[in-house]
Copies of this chain bind each other. A is one copy, B any other.
Amino acid sequence: MTFINRRALGMIVASSLAALTANTALAQDKKVIAVSIPAATHGWTGGVVYHAEQAEKEIEAAFPNIDVIVKTSPSATAQVSALEDLAAAQTLDALVILPFTSEELTGPVEQVKANGTFIAVVDRGLTDPSIQDLYVAGDNIAVGANTAKWLADKLGNEGKVVVLRGIPTVIDDERIQGFTDVMSGTNIEILDIQYANWNQDEAFTLMQDYLAKYPQIDAVWANDDDMLLGVLEAVKQSGRTEIKYALGGNGMKDVIEMVMANDPVTPISTPYPPSMIKTAIYMVAGQFTGQAPMRGSFKLDAPLITPENADQFYFPDSPF
């Protein structure tokens, strides 16, 4: 049996009691951060759910005075109801929201705001930006432009490329604009740009069309890592070997694994990370735990993900 003298024991008990008292005091003044996000309907939103739940665990472990509540919703209508329920059940110090749609969520978020709740909006903006205290979003122009700069350099500003578009949205427009603006300053020819709706199967079919139509393709920009997987499968089945690079975007786990493995065709990606939900939750926690000023607009860069830094963008347990 371990011998412990009475004085040491007294110190342990006293410090345990002090810790208990401190916890009780903190519990009375807990700050509640509600997180409202779409349910995991596809790869990227699956990543959002994963990172929101990780952030909940990490923030609650680090800051005992903060309670994070994550609520997922399968539709815009469900998200509106979820906001009503969250606000009815407790006083919300902060709401972190990735809105299903800007139109349907703006009014309900404004109502939450009216109670004095700090509002952090992620990715998709509200139709009235004055409602938000904090806005966190990626830079889609940079996703396209940084990929284009890397590719133009590798191709020596010469060659023929094909491009896939996502769903017609501002996000897609910005990515394409960033890419084509850079390419217009080179001798690289963009053979074709067609929509494949950020869908892996549609990207597979579109890439088959491109392969049939164009006998020489030096590189493919799939604009998105889900679509990239479809593109790579079509290239593989075609047996074509002249395609030097096939690049996507978003930083999907499968693609980052290719980057880490120094894949010759896909040696880079650019992040538009679902973990930006975590960015917002950490920032709001800083506002409420340390009064660190977090009102403003945070635009995430889209730095190239390379074999050297890929580990910083890699979450082996995430679905995305």
A283 proximal to B (CB < 8 A): yes
A300, B10: Cα distance in complex, Å: 49
**Minimal beta-carbon separation of A224 from chain B (angstroms):** 18
**Minimal beta-carbon separation of A305 from chain B (angstroms):** 11
A278 proximal to B (CB < 8 A): yes
Chain B residues with CB under 8 Å of A299's CB are 296-298
- Within 292-320 of A, Cβ neighbours of B (below 8 Å) are at 292-301, 303, 312-313, 315
**Minimal beta-carbon separation of A293 from chain B (angstroms):** 5
Report whether B293 and A286 are in contact in the complex, using a CB–CB cutoff of 8 Å: no
Nearest residue, chain B, Cβ from A251: B293
Given A4-B13, A16-B12, A62-B62, CB of A279 within 8 Å of CB of B292: yes
Most buried by B among A1, A278, A279, A292: A292
Nearest residue, chain B, Cβ from A8: B13
> Looking at the complex, which of A183-191, A235-243, A259-267, A268-276 is the stretch in contact with chain B?
A268-276
A58 proximal to B (CB < 8 A): yes
Chain B residues with CB under 8 Å of A2's CB are 10, 13
A282 proximal to B (CB < 8 A): yes
**Minimal beta-carbon separation of A142 from chain B (angstroms):** 9
**Minimal beta-carbon separation of A314 from chain B (angstroms):** 8
Report whether B303 and A295 are in contact in the complex, using a CB–CB cutoff of 8 Å: yes
Given A296-B300, A301-B295, A303-B295, CB of A279 within 8 Å of CB of B286: yes
Report whether A275 and B296 are in contact in the complex, using a CB–CB cutoff of 8 Å: no
A55 proximal to B (CB < 8 A): yes
Report whether B283 and A282 are in contact in the complex, using a CB–CB cutoff of 8 Å: yes
- Within 46-78 of A, Cβ neighbours of B (below 8 Å) are at 51, 54-55, 58, 62-63
Chain B residues with CB under 8 Å of A16's CB are 12
Task: Identify 22 residue pairs between A and B in the complex whose beta-carbon atoms are under 8 Å apart, listed by A's number.
Answer: A1-B6, A2-B10, A4-B13, A9-B9, A12-B13, A54-B290, A55-B290, A58-B290, A271-B293, A273-B293, A275-B291, A275-B293, A278-B286, A279-B292, A279-B293, A279-B294, A282-B286, A291-B312, A291-B315, A295-B301, A296-B299, A297-B299
B-binding residues in A (CB < 8 A):
1-2, 4, 6, 9-10, 12-13, 16, 51, 54-55, 58, 62-63, 133, 139, 271, 273, 275-276, 278-279, 281-283, 285-286, 289-301, 303, 312-313, 315
